[in-house]
Amino acid sequence: YLKISKLALAFAIIHSKPPGKSSKEYTEHLAKIVSKQDFGWKSKVEALEAEVLRLRQELLLNKICPRICLENDASAETLLDQGCIDPISYSSQLEDSGCDVSNDYAFDSLGIASDFHQSEHNVNTSKRWLERVPPLNLCCTGKEESLTVPVQFLQHLLEIRKLSERGILQADFTELENDSFTICNSVSQLLDGLTIFYNSPKFPLSNFLSEAVCVLISLITDSKLSNHVLKKCFKKLEEFKKNLIQIILRNSTVNRFQALHAVSHTLVLLARNNVLRNSLISLLLLEVRQFAEQLLQAHQIQAMYDITQYENIFLLCMILEQLLQNETEDSNVSSSDYDGEEKIKFLKNLDQIILHLSDEFPLFSLYLWRASVLLNSSQIQ
């Protein structure tokens, strides 16, 4: 039947082709028309899927917070004026790297915009929660478009959480267990949107992108919501961390330092969650160890090595050192919480690697030694 259908289609094309065009040219022309129609249908399906997700988000929010129980209007107003999501302040400036960067925004030592404060629009949005769940705004263009819906949904979720914690609202967060699809898709969209931005960043950072990072960190560090998110989205968060690490290692643009510092800082912020911090330490130990072994092999046979990765590996070393330092100082967290196997692999033959690389690569050898000292000191403690 399939062969007969193909033969019939071929005869139909041959008989209907316009004069002056070969059958091949006419077939290619028809194929383009059909592919455009398929693309149009695909766009419509994606738009409908986005609308379905938006409606599911609103429905979930209404299930979590079906009605408002105000104890004191004045106290509610005071709380909302202070901001429902605590902003993160960054005051230090990015040191001059010799690159031309904008002075419109202040960047901290790891490149994130200093202004993480909520805009007046968000405060007004929070106040409207005292009346009803506000509709989610879809008006956004460019790279931020994919972030708009998930950011606003997760932001509203955090606002309800803050208000319910203070007794201003009554909320039932067990509904998150009943609708894992919505929370998973929302977090996935947020992570995908941030990955797209970090792959080709534009500076200075917009307030919205800074806010997106703020919402993500607030979500994974919230005492109640983080459990739901990690349970449903752990694999996606792991993939996100791996993508950020690869973005750091592979970026070879000349004026890349500001962008890489922004990615680095996002990784450090993700480590505020203990579970994510432990897995991040394991990932960093793996990447640094593999590069050290490759560099040693290239050095022994006098072969070429990837200079871009060599320049960028120091950012991973700095992140690793910072996380290990924080872990050593934090008596409540044990180094055994993260992958012990990766730690053993990292320390195995490390002294020999440092010995062979120290003359040619003294700075990298120093970072390896400092990491080993921190690993051993945490084990002793």
Could you tell me how far CA 29 lies from the centroid of its own chain? 42
Residue 172 is assigned to a structural domain of this protein: yes
- 346 within some domain: yes
Q: What per-residue confidence (pLDDT) applies to 240?
A: 96
- Please report the pLDDT score of residue 319 as a whole number: 95
For residue 295, being part of any structural domain is answered with yes
Structural domain includes residue 302: yes
Is the same domain home to 372 and 277?
yes
Statement to judge: residues 277 and 376 lie in one domain: yes
For residue 16, give both structure tokens: 């209907």
- At residue 231, the pLDDT reads 87
Indicate whether 200 and 152 sit together in one domain: yes
In a domain? residue 313: yes
Phi-psi region of 141 (alpha: psi -120 to 50; beta: other; left: phi over 0): beta
DSSP-assigned states of every residue in 169-212 = S---TTHHHHTHHHHHHHHHHHHHHHHHHHHS--SSPPHHHHHH
Please report whether residue 226 resides in a domain.
Answer: yes
Q: Is residue 14 part of a domain?
A: no
228 shares a domain with 180:
yes
Look at residues 224, 240, 256 and tell me which one is the last residue of a structural domain. Answer: 240
| Residues 234 and 299 placed together within one structural domain of the fold | no
Query: Which uninterrupted H or E stretch holds 80?
Result: helix 73-82
Concatenated DSSP letters of 291-350: HHHHHHHHHHTT----HHHHHHHHHHHHHHHHHHHHHHH-TTS-GGGS-HHHHHHHHTTH
Cα–Cα dist 15/9, whole Å:
10
User: Residue 43's pLDDT is what?
Assistant: 80
pLDDT at position 330:
66
**E strand or H helix that includes residue 250:** helix 225-250
Contact 211, 151 (CB under 8 A): yes
List, in sequence order, every residue forming a beta bridge with 161; answer none if it has no partner: none
Residues 302 and 356 in one domain: yes
Average pLDDT, consecutive stretches of 10 residues, N- to C-terminus, the chain (381 residues)? 92 90 89 80 84 90 71 42 39 40 38 39 40 38 71 91 85 85 92 91 80 92 88 93 95 85 92 92 95 94 92 95 83 54 89 94 96 81 54
- pTM here is 0.71
How many structural domains compose the chain? 2
CA 137, CA 299: separation in Å to the nearest integer?
Answer: 55
Last residue of a domain, one of 222, 240, 258: 240
Q: How far apart are CA 138 and CA 152, in angstroms?
A: 10
Q: Are residues 234 and 279 in the same domain?
A: no
Query: Do 210 and 296 lie in a common domain?
Result: no
Query: Is 158 a domain residue?
Result: yes
Q: Are residues 295 and 371 in the same domain?
A: yes
Domain end call among 240, 260, 290: 240
> What does the pLDDT read at residue 339?
58
pLDDT of residue 288: 96
Q: What's residue 11's pLDDT? A: 92
Q: What residue numbers bound the domain in which 236 lies?
A: 147-240
Shared domain check, 189 and 233: yes
